[in-house]
Structure 1
């Protein structure tokens, strides 16, 4: 009986610790809450601010081909139809130096889409009606990154490098991209088995044409729990010196990279609290970041804001010299 009482007491203590931990994690996230998003935007997958700091958003697949303007109270103010667009699986937004928006219709959960689409539309502040037409960028991923080498060549380094590149072909789901120096940079969502935690970086042109995405590099986020490691959105600061990638409970901040190989730079982690389905991120200015999550069991469905100058940065990599 005494043993049973001790066991019950230990179990009670354990449950209390768990409850306190989750309460702390929820509170950590909700301290950053900015607005509660209109319930009509159930699956916000991309957000951007125009030069007047007005928030624009897109919904994930299943919605029409619409761009939404969101007011400061979270309600929808305006809805613009992309007349030649189709929302198969819209996953992220970015913009160029002139405020043109790019909308990524490239979600590929089942990896059965050979050609993926990016819609480029005019700066929304210049759209006077409730409809606009997009330029269309098409791209595909390479079937094989490099030709297969014969192991009899004896060059072990080349063989290992080939194996690593061959594995890239499995990692072709996609939810994140940014604009940088007239190019669009894609960050894959890793669905490999066994899971290795890598997001792969590819590049395509930022203008209407057909492209084969060019592989640049890869970066390992984490390998513990697949769904908490998936990269779901990306954003570049207006001055093009900072890149952030978003997963379900962190921001990955990159600075001081070499040319366009973002993964060669300094890397920091910013803890965002409890794991939620975080799906979009953007910069308001060079310091302020806004990200969103979807509602689940009463948690989420909000936009949050965080200043890099006030955030706790945990450095995990130093820039390559």
Structure 2
């Protein structure tokens, strides 16, 4: 095979891999003004929808309905909101709060708070700390071409929390790094699982939230304007997944995603100059 033919095949393979589909977000409701910066969203096994806000906001979790109305708020005891960025839940209903937002890649106090399901009925639920570090990060912050250690998305699966980092590299590499830590209280060095290339557009390809479907067959990664659906993977190696890219056709700051069921995603955005502060539904084919 000559070089020209090889280049053509590589270009065609890349084009096929990056085929983009169109998604239609259906607005369900709008959050009240006190929830301008919803950064994490999750549905517990009993069907309750919980949301959090990121840095500069209270260390509280909010139960909302599908219209975006607040039904309950709980202050998490012994938990400070340094930069809460995502929520996930396990099959027993234990809730996990990812306090791992790290815009400048300078934090050395990354933590995930575990709120036991039997604490959720209390006014101020207690939380346990899962503290962790990234073994690849040696400098705080690292050089611009190594800014991989901001994080806004994770999910729970089989006694582990899987973490997908938000890429802030310059020049932009298009990769998210994947790690995991145990779901139990303690201090850990996160286990590095690999890097996943999403796409090369720094405005649309950095992960802002992650979730896995109830049946464990699909992982949804959210970015600004796009959703990436990962299928055909083998745990814990997600780097060889099939990836479907969905253009959500929105210019708002979408920050949160979760599965409502195996075929339906809930998505929330923060309020900015383009609108936002809304809760959406996306039906999957």
TM range (shorter): 0.7 to 0.9
- Aligned counterpart for 2:110 among listed residues 97, 116, 124: 116
Any residues of structure 2 matched to 1:59-208 within 5 Å, and which? Answer: 59-123=53-117, 127-143=120-136, 170-208=147-185
In structure 1, the residue matched to 2:189 is 212
- Cα contact 1:172–1:189 (8 A) shared by 2: yes
Instruction: Report the number of matched residues.
Output: 260
Higher strand share: 2
- Cα contact 2:251–2:274 (8 A) shared by 1: no
Larger Rg over CA atoms? 1
Instruction: Please report the RMSD computed on the Cα atoms of aligned residues, expressed in angstroms.
Output: 2.0
Higher helix share: 1
- Cα contact 1:101–1:122 (8 A) shared by 2: yes
Unaligned runs of 5+ in 2: 1-21
Q: CA deviation at 1:292?
A: 0.7
1:26-76: CA deviation from partner (whole Å, max 9, x where unpaired) = xx8875111111211111011111233221100111112101011233221
Instruction: Report the Cα distance in structure 1 between the residues aligned to 2:115 and 2:158, rounded to whole angstroms.
Output: 18
| Correspondence 1:56 to 2:50 | yes
Instruction: Report the Cα distance in structure 1 between the residues aligned to 2:40 and 2:117, rounded to whole angstroms.
Output: 16
TM-score, reference length from structure 2? 0.86
Q: CA deviation at 1:169?
A: 5.1
Instruction: Report the Cα distance in structure 1 between the residues aligned to 2:145 and 2:262, rounded to whole angstroms.
Output: 32
Relative contact order: is structure 1 or structure 2 higher (C-alpha 8 Å, sep ≥ 6)? 2
- Aligned counterpart for 1:32 among listed residues 22, 26, 30: 26
Instruction: Report the Cα distance in structure 1 between the residues aligned to 2:196 and 2:57, rounded to whole angstroms.
Output: 32
Query: Is the partner of 2:261 in helix, strand or coil?
Result: coil
In structure 2, the residue matched to 1:162 is none
Instruction: Report the Cα distance in structure 2 between the residues aligned to 1:128 and 1:99, rounded to whole angstroms.
Output: 12
Unaligned runs of 5+ in 1: 1-27, 146-165, 310-321
- Cα contact 2:224–2:253 (8 A) shared by 1: yes
C-alpha distance 264-143 of structure 1, shift in aligned 2 (>3 A): closer
Instruction: Report the Cα distance in structure 2 between the residues aligned to 1:76 and 1:258, rounded to whole angstroms.
Output: 38
